[in-house]
Amino acid sequence: MPNKRSKRKRVQHFFCPLCGMRLWRLGSTKYYLFYQNAAEIRQNLKISAKKASFLATQNSAYIDRNSWIEEFFCTEHGRIWLLLSRQSDGNIVYRPAKKEDWKQTNKTINPTKPNPSVSEFTYRMSRKVYYGYQA
Ligand SMILES: [Zn+2]
């Protein structure tokens, strides 16, 4: 597998919004944002009202594959959920995920209070990643 790496696109680095340290990407599930109606679609995708209402009629909920919440790890601040958005130029902008952002996801997870009715197993598996950090 020679030069397999060089063919990959340049990897963007992420930094802690609180301290500016390099963040570790944990490879957690990406919780994509979805929008319930034309107004939300229009606001988030910055498209015309006409296009937004078209998308709204096509889907009961429009999933934005370019915006998602993903978990990162800061050696200083621990686990951090970031809201990431891929821009049209390929760059990803990000900021800490807010409570409102989680409402836009499929809500299968709440980082502060795991929902026991949803896959407890998945949640525990996802936590395994941190065992190395939590003394
Ligand atoms: Zn930090």
Contact 76, 90 (CB under 8 A): no
pLDDT of residue 32: 92
pLDDT of residue 112: 54
Residue type, 44: N
**How many angstroms is it from 81 CA to the middle of ligand 1?**
12
Going by the DSSP 8-state scheme, the letter that residue 30 receives in this structure is P
**How many angstroms is it from 130 CA to the middle of ligand 1?**
16
The number of angstroms, rounded, from the C-alpha of 93 to the middle of its chain's C-alpha atoms is 11
Calculated CA dihedral for residues 30, 36, 40, 42, nearest 10 degrees = 100
pLDDT of residue 9: 65
Whole-model pTM? 0.68
**How many angstroms is it from 49 CA to the middle of ligand 1?**
39
**Cβ atoms within 10 A of the Cβ of 102, count?**
19
**How many angstroms is it from 82 CA to the middle of ligand 1?**
12
Q: Dump strand ranges (E) for 1-135.
A: 24-25, 31-35, 62-74, 78-86, 92-96
pLDDT in tens, 47-76: 999 999 999 988 778 889 999 999 999 999
**How many angstroms is it from 22 CA to the middle of ligand 1?**
8
SS3 call for 14: coil
